Structure formats: structure tokens, C-alpha cells
Structure 1
Amino acid sequence: MTESSDMRQRGTRTRRHISFRRRLVRLTFYVLLLVTGCAAAGFLYFADTVASLQPPANPKADAIVVLTGGFQRIDQAVDLLKTGAGKRLLISGVHPSTTRGQIRRNTQSSADLFKCCVDIGYDAIDTIGNANETASWIRDNGYRSILVVTNNYHMPRSLLELRRANQGIDFIAYPVVNSDLKSTNWLRNPMVLKTILSEYLKLTIATLRDALGAHTASGLRNEKN
């Protein structure tokens, strides 16, 4: 083989290698573009779904569960209990330092109501824990339908976890709306945008986890370790 022939072959291999790298870069770019587009479309769909959530006009279920995260949620759940929307209320995910008396006073409720019809759950440390804590409560009481009270942006993931842990139970969404996402430009509000984006990412991870059949921690304080 002559020197010129060897140089031509090396040049051909180099050009092929450069061409392959260029194709790989283009393919990577298109894949990233597609993934980014799908993620953006999914986020906008999620935000629109959350913004459209409204409480049912005449809610009715066997019982009510509220997932902690602010007293506005608890106030709404207690009001539903008072009006007979459910026979009993579980407040799930209460911090161990918060007493029953503090919750009762903050909701301006009677001692009789809390004594007869309100259960306090101290074990849940996250949304998965809320679902598992609620599952035990449902089994103990034999309920078939549950009114779920939580913020609108938190509702899709809450229902996902609750239904995963409580198959065959009818969960009815009762979203608490802190801000009107339909009529306000929330994209210009950094705090609201951060909250919705964070919740969308958590919902995406939870959906992928279920699709892959991945194991998760119980989310319960007494099983944390």
C-alpha cells in the first residue's frame, strides 16, 4: 500500500468519524428539543387543569380527609364536616407538636365536634404518607367514598397517591383555591410559578415511578427508618 493511498484511507475514516459525530450531535439536539417541548406542553396542560379545578356544588361522601399544609385547608374541611358533607374527618399529616386543642381553637370549632367526629393523623410526613395514613383510617372505618380537601395545585398528585394506596375507593376532589389562576397572570408571579412547577415535577416523578413499578418509602413517621 502506497503512502498516498494510506493517507486517503485515513482521511476517509476521519471524515466518516466527523460526519458521525455531527449526526450524533444533531440527533441529541432533536431529542432534547422534543423532550423539552413535551415537558413544556405537559406543564402547561397541568397548570390549566389545576386552574380549572373547582369544588363540587353539593359535596357528599362517607367521610372527609384533609391533607395538611395550611390552616385554610383545615378550616374548609371542618366547615364541610359541620355541613354534613361527610360523617367523619381525618386531618392527615399533623406535626407531632400540634395539639388537638390548637387545631380546634384555630378552626373555631366546638369541643363536641372534635370529640365525636375528628381524627388527627400524626404519622404522615409527605403525600405518600398521607395516602397510607388515610388507607389505614379507611380500612378501620369501612368507608367507600372520601371527600379529599387540599390545595388545587396539590390535588392531582394527592389523588394519584390516594388511589394507588386505596384501590376501589371513590375519591372526590374538593380543591382549595388560594389564588385565581384563571384570571391572573401567574407566570409573572415567581412564587406561584415555583409552586406549580415544583408540583408538576413531583407529579411527573410519581407517574414515572408507578409506570416503572418502583418501590417507595411508606412516608410514615413511625416507619421512616
Structure 2
Amino acid sequence: MTSKGDSSPVFSEAIRARSVTRWRWRAAISAVVVAALAGCAGFVWFLSLVLPNEHKPSRNADGIVVLTGGSSRVSDAVELLAEGYGKRLLISGVHPTNGFSDIQRSLPESQPLLMCCVDLDRSAVNTRSNATETRRWATERGFRSLIVVTSNYHMPRAIVELSHSMPDIELIPFAVVGEKWREEPWWTSGAALRLLLSEYVKYLFAEVRVAFGGVGQGGRPDTEIQPPVAPRKPATASAN
């Protein structure tokens, strides 16, 4: 027969084990709740950076860069160039098989401007390499200020990447607002909400990566500035 004195230490150890287990579960649940609340608060803050309306740049700049990927970005950038907001335009992220001809077909009235004052970047494959190629282009031309044209939801991340790559160049954002954003609030569209959540995660990753010195820059290597390319020949391929 086991005495009370013999079973007491075992019983106390079991109680302590259950207590530690409960504490760990409570700590884990608390951590999940805090992380969820922080994520929601961060998302709300991110939404405040996504402008709902278009506003013309506050002033002119040396050049204009448009990051491809959204509807009407290129046409809005060409319009800014035509209005004299910049001396020259870079269309960054054009597909390697594309050229000026398709842009000319979609913007026939802008053909003289496209032929004289627009450059295509076919090297960039993502926002990080957009920043690398834009820095290369701006440095070659001695530009000290740029108007950045991209979609409103993409602008926060684009500014993070471009600012990191070009800390000595002033960036003036021009956020393009698509038709779908104007027609209905984003919270009524599941597709828009998923897009914003995805962009929010990418934005956080960009902020963290830049905070740690740009680890994982991605895209093409950011090597020394290359000499200016020779004057281009008339393009025959289609553009993005």
C-alpha cells in the first residue's frame, strides 16, 4: 500500500506539468491574437497609403518612369510627358519581345513623342529590378528627380524599392487609379481584397528586406552603371 507521503511528490509534479501546459497554450493563443491584431492594424495603415483618387504631380521632374503591369499606366505616363512634367520617359518592365510599334498603335496621337523622348527597359522582371534599371537609366542621364507612375495599390512598395535603390534622387508619386477601383469600393470585391492583402504582404517583405540592407534584392544583378546604349532602330515588335 502506497502512503500519502510517497504519492504527494508525483501528484505535485503532475499538477505542475498541467500548469505549465496551460500557460504555454495561453501564451501561444495570446501571441496569435496579438499578431492578428497587429496585422489588421498594419493593413489599415497600408490602406491609408493607397490613394483612392488620381492627383497630378505637385511639380515637374527631370524624368518620368512608369512601371508596367496595370491598365492605363503607360497612357497616363505618356500624357504626363506630353504635358511637360518630365523631359524623358522610361517604360520599365516591357516584355523582351515587345517594342514601340504596339504602343504607337494604342497611342497614335503620341507617336512623335514616343519616337523622341521614350525609352524601353526590357530587363526588369519585378519591382526590385524595376528599381535597379530605373537607377541605371536616371544616373546615365544625370536626373535628380523622377515622377513615378504605377497603380495606387502598388505605389507604396514601388516607393520603398525605388527609394532604397536611389536614395539621392527625389521621387514624386503619381498613383494611377483603375476603372474598377472607381466603380466600386474595394471591400465589395473579393478579387480586390485579395489583391490588396497580397500587396500588403509584399510591401511588408520589402520594408523588412530594405531595413536589413536589401538582402535578397532579386532580379538582375545590380552591377556598375553601364555606358549609354547606342541609338535604337525602329522597333517592329509589339509592346506591353
TM-score, normalisation: structure 1: 0.90
Match of 2:68 in 1: 68
Aligned match of 1:12: 12
Greater fraction of residues in helix: 1
Amino acid at match of 2:197: L
Alignment partner, residue 158 of structure 1: 158
Residue 131 of structure 1 deviates from its aligned partner by 0.3
Distance 2:214 2:164 in 1: 13
Which string of whole-angstrom CA distances, capped at 9 and with x for unpartnered residues, describes residues 41-88 of structure 1?
Answer: 111121132135642355411110000013400000001111111000
Tell me the alpha carbon deviations over residues 153-184 of structure 1, each in whole angstroms, 9 at most, x when there is no partner: 00000000000000111000000011575894
Q: Residue 153 of structure 1: SS of its match in structure 2?
A: coil
Structure 2 residue identity aligned to 1:153: Y
CA distance in 2, matches of 1:58, 1:31: 43
**Quick one: distance in 2 between partners of 1:221 and 1:29?**
42
Q: 1:212 to 1:81 in 2, by over 3 A?
A: same
For residues 125 and 165 of structure 1, the distance between their equivalents in structure 2, rounded to whole angstroms, comes to 16
Residue number in structure 1 paired with 2:226: none
State the one-letter code of the partner of 2:198. S
The percent identity for this pair of structures is 37
Distance 1:200 1:212 in 2: 19
Give yes or no for the alignment of 1:49 onto 2:12: no
Distance 1:214 1:86, change over 3 A: closer
Which residue number corresponds to residue 139 of structure 2?
Answer: 139
1:215 match:
215
Q: Look up the SS of the partner of 1:90 in the other structure.
A: strand
Matched, 1:197 2:197: yes
In structure 1, give the amino acid aligned to 2:36: T
Q: Is the 8 A contact 1:132 1:218 kept in 2?
A: no
**In structure 1, distance between residues paired with 2:46 and 2:110:** 39
| Moved segments of 4+, more than 6 Å | none
Q: Which residue of 1 aligns with 2:178?
A: 178
Greater mean deviation of Cα atoms: 212-221 or 92-101:
212-221
How many correspondences in the alignment? 222
Q: Which amino acid is 1:64 matched to?
A: I
Q: Distance in 2 between matches of 1:95 and 1:26?
A: 52
Q: Check the 8 A contact 1:187/1:193 in 2, yes or no.
A: yes
- In 1, Cα distance between the equivalents of 2:38 and 2:182? 22
Aligned partners of 1:161, 1:14: CA distance in 2, in Å?
54
- Structure 1 gaps, min length 5: none
Unpaired segments ≥5 residues, structure 2: 224-240
- Coordinate RMSD, CA, aligned: 2.2
- Find the aligned partners of 1:193 and 1:30 in 2 and give their Cα distance: 27
Determine if contact 2:57/2:174 at 8 Å carries over to the other structure.
Answer: no
**SS at 1:51's partner residue?**
coil
Q: 1:127 to 1:66 in 2, by over 3 A?
A: same
Work out whether residues 63 and 88 of structure 1, in 8 Å CA contact, stay in contact via their aligned partners in 2.
yes
Q: Is 2:30 the counterpart of 1:26? A: no
Matches of 2:217 and 2:164, distance apart in 1: 14
Displacement of 1:111:
3.7
